[in-house]
Amino acid sequence: MPVSDPRTASPGTTTPKIADEPMRAREIGTNGISLHCEAVGDPADPAMLLIMGAMSSAVWWPEELCRQLADRGYVIRYDHRDTGRSTSYAPARASYTVEDLADDAVGVLDGYEFERAHLVGMSVGGYLAQIIALKHPSRALTLTPIASERLALADPELPAMDPSVTEYHARAAELDWSAREAVVSYQVGAWRLISVSAHAFHEPAIRAMARPTSIAPAVSSRRSTTPPSATRSGGSIASTRSASRPWSSTGPRIRCSRMRTRRRWNRRFPRLPS
């Protein structure tokens, strides 16, 4: 079956059939956990797996975007462990690594019975996609990291992440995660901090997306989560470079096609070349 190329398709051309199609949810058991997944499109088309960043559930891939992408493939988004409706752990009980998170993504493909997929990763999701391309090279059709570090040793000619980003997220340890509006404001502030300069920051839209992801687990919501667990999923990413396997030096060995995104300056990775 020929694989469609998202770069040659016209943007915003969602067909009426896809535009009206709901995201279909299912739970997939893999690696001893349960992952909440949602998909849209024709399962006969090539798969496109959307991998979100640390501490972020699948809702940060907007449904409208998923439906537009579904014109070109079968789109799957999922909640990382410790986010959304996927398995969460009690404080101080989790012991998973960044490599486990990459294996979770492969487990999602197994659950949907896809041998290969276009991997699209945002931020840390792009890092996980690169690990998949190295550890399971036969599973990656293409690789599209967005606002993500390359999986390689640090390049002294490229600037480091702006310190304001790490300083901001250091506050998460002191945040009252039971206070809904405080958590929403924290998440909105995080997205504002890394928003690109080419487009105005749309706070109402980000705030609307943050609300269902930030309610304490005792409250019914589309994406309830245990907040301390969510911060832990980010912590496992923070120690990526000291992981047991030296993924940080193997990025140049990736052989699948890669689509690099062009964007303006932001604080997370300033002045990165397109």
pTM: 0.78
d(CA 77, CA 39): 6
Closest to 6 measured CA to CA, from 57, 65, 62, 59: 65
d(CA 41, CA 112): 13
pLDDT of residue 125: 94
Length of the chain in terms of residues written: 274
For residue 231, give Cα distances in angstroms to 67, 218, 224, 237.
29, 18, 14, 10
Please report, in tens digits, the pLDDT of each residue of the chain (274 residues total). Answer: 333 343 344 444 555 567 678 899 999 999 999 999 999 999 999 999 999 988 789 999 999 999 999 998 999 999 999 888 999 887 667 788 899 999 999 999 999 999 999 999 998 899 899 999 999 999 999 999 988 877 777 677 777 778 888 888 888 888 887 788 888 899 899 889 888 777 788 899 889 888 765 443 322 234 544 444 555 555 444 444 444 355 555 555 676 655 554 444 445 544 443 3
H-type alpha helices, 112-265: 124-135, 163-169, 180-193, 203-210, 227-238
Report the DSSP beta bridge partners of residue 38: 25, 77
Neighbours of 23 (CB within 10 A): 18
Q: Which one-letter DSSP state was computed for residue 80?
A: P
d(CA 172, CA 212): 18
pLDDT of residue 224: 46
**Sheet with 74-78, edge to edge strand ranges:** 24-30, 33-40, 74-78, 47-51, 117-122, 140-146, 257-258
pLDDT of residue 46: 96
